Amino acid sequence: MAYVTHYNNLSEEMQSRIKKDRSEHWVNPYAFKDENVIRRDMSHDRANLWRPAFVRDIEKIMNVPFYNRYSDKTQVFSLFKNDDISRRALHVQLVSRIARNIGNLLNLNTDLIEAIALGHDIGHTPFGHAGERKLSKLYEEHTGRVFNHNIHSARLLDDICGLNLSLQTLDGIICHNGEMEMKEYKPLPYSDFNEFDRKKEKCYLDGGAVKKLVPATLEGCVVRLSDIIAYIGKDRQDALRLGLFEKEPQYSQKTIGSTNAEIINNMIVNIIENSYGKDSLSMDPEYFEEFSRAKKENYELIYAHEKNEKVFNEDIFPMFDQMYEKLLEDAVSMKEDTIFYRHHIAYIKNITRYSKTLKKDYLENTPDDMVVDFIAGMTDDYFIDCYEKLFSDRTEGLHKVNYMGYFD
């Protein structure tokens, strides 16, 4: 029997309420106001009519060179030459689109939502969450500190590039944790960069701290929830397209749906029905139950699939080990003729040469921090090319990966 899709609609009552509120120019009291923006240096980046507060953040994020690297970073599936599967660049666009849709219906600050969404994964490692876990393991073994991509996204934009982004955007970025779904998303406001820095530092020291972060704005909550909505169905779509399964799995979702389009539509509708005019986001209990189960099924059927893990354990992870140690040697010596210096230190210096809001010189960082910055900033192809270049003089102990082409 063929699978029958279903798409829910907003109730007539809710549609009428939203239309009425729009005609009367209703202002959501829980939306974050542009005039309340907070920056480290309030004398710079002042809003004006043509570049409002969070539009500035959006443009800063999109124009930093690291933004380009989204295009060749793994979302879930690595080492495929296939433009039909998702890269991280598409993922952040999907998160942004879903979050802005929700934010628009709830009458929230959609510029703030877009800024958070576009920046939320900019610090992600090559090779997706597998690469993130491996880099964190190496970092912790060397320093006792842990790596999380959402914390690193803020480090990249704030500490390394010195973009003077708003507290509200940076908070939404570190709190976006798309690995943890909740029955209710209620913001915990604060308005102090000292508190932000304290939260961020705690996440380096305590591996569990990142799971306890709560966004300070309702807009940040929207992005956090949209992150999960964006990847559940899309990852299923990609797995099927790549032939990961001999037979398509029978997912158990009946209420939210099993396909990408169903999940996006039905989750948005239910969130709006339960959250409009309120100070938090929520969904019906049965929706939350299915939403959680859908994510769990993705982990069991897709992310932990043996085809997805084999290449990491046998080739990619050993490459991480060798590269980390070699780059650390170069970071300690700081010789200007090394790949580390020419392609990382000089690169950062060039990016930040006009910044007026950097907190400290980049060379004041520890060698381990600089190595982690370099590796986390690589795309998948960049990582492999860098590995081959670093060890081009060796004949033994090297690892090589093979890409799956269009016609393999």
Identify which has the larger pLDDT, 124 or 243: 124
- Distance of alpha carbon 385 from the chain centroid: 24
* Section 182-190 average pLDDT: 94
Tell me, what's the pLDDT at 308? 67
CB 24: neighbour CB atoms within 10 A? 8
- Distance of alpha carbon 208 from the chain centroid: 18
Q: What percent of the chain has pLDDT over 70?
A: 98
* Section 166-193 average pLDDT: 91
Q: pLDDT tens digit string along 127-167?
A: 999 999 999 999 999 999 999 999 999 999 999 999 999 99
Q: pLDDT tens digit string along 215-239?
A: 999 999 999 999 999 999 999 999 9
Report CA-CA distances (Å) from 7 to 267, 268, 287.
Answer: 10, 11, 14
pLDDT band at 252 (very low <50, low <70, confident <90, very high): confident
Tell me, what's the pLDDT at 178? 54
HEC readout, the chain: CCCCCCCCCCCHHHHHHHHHHHHCCCCCCCCCCHHHCCECCCCCCCCCCCCCHHHHHHHHHHHCHHHHHHHHCECCCCCECCCCCCEHHHHHHHHHHHHHHHHHHHCCCHHHHHHHHHHCCCCCCCCHHHHHHHHHHHHHHHHCCCCCHHHHHHHHHHHHCCCCCEHHHHHHHHCCCCCCCCCEECCCCCCCHHHHHHHHHHHHHCCCHHHHCCCCCHHHHHHHHHHHHHHHHHHHHHHHHCCCCCCCCCCCCCCCCCCHHHHHHHHHHHHHHHHCCCCCEECCHHHHHHHHHHHHHHHHHHHCCHHHHHHHHHHHHHHHHHHHHHHHHHHHHCCCCCHHHHHHHHHHHHHCCCCCCCCCCHHHCCHHHHHHHHHHCCCHHHHHHHHHHHCCCCCCCCCCCCCECCCC
Report CA-CA distances (Å) from 203 to 92, 176, 198, 212, 216.
Answer: 23, 13, 9, 10, 17
pLDDT band at 181 (very low <50, low <70, confident <90, very high): confident
- Cβ partners under 8 Å of residue 216, min gap 6: 167, 168, 171, 172, 175, 187, 188, 189, 190, 191
* Section 24-41 average pLDDT: 98
Facing residues of 166 across strands? 39
Which residue from 219, 142, 217, 207 is spatially nearest to 179, judged by alpha carbons? 207
Query: Is pLDDT of 366 > 80?
Result: yes
Tell me, what's the pLDDT at 304? 78
Q: pLDDT tens digit string along 60-108?
A: 999 999 999 999 999 998 888 888 999 999 999 999 999 999 999 999 9
> pTM score, two decimals?
0.96
pLDDT band at 305 (very low <50, low <70, confident <90, very high): confident
- Mean pLDDT (the chain, rounded): 94
Q: How far apart are CA 230 and CA 97, in angstroms?
A: 9
pLDDT band at 398 (very low <50, low <70, confident <90, very high): confident
- Structural domains of the chain, with CATH: 16-307 (1.10.3210.10), 308-390 (no CATH)
Residue 282 token pair: 């929520």
HEC readout, 184-221: EECCCCCCCHHHHHHHHHHHHHCCCHHHHCCCCCHHHH
pLDDT band at 179 (very low <50, low <70, confident <90, very high): low
Torsion angle, alpha carbons of 284, 15, 268, 87, to 10: 180
Contact 317, 335 (CB under 8 A): no
Residue 240 token pair: 């099927």
* Section 335-353 average pLDDT: 97
- Distance of alpha carbon 51 from the chain centroid: 25
Rg (CA), the chain: 22
Tell me, what's the pLDDT at 80? 87
Query: Is pLDDT of 3 > 70?
Result: no
Q: How far apart are CA 161 and CA 201, in angstroms?
A: 18
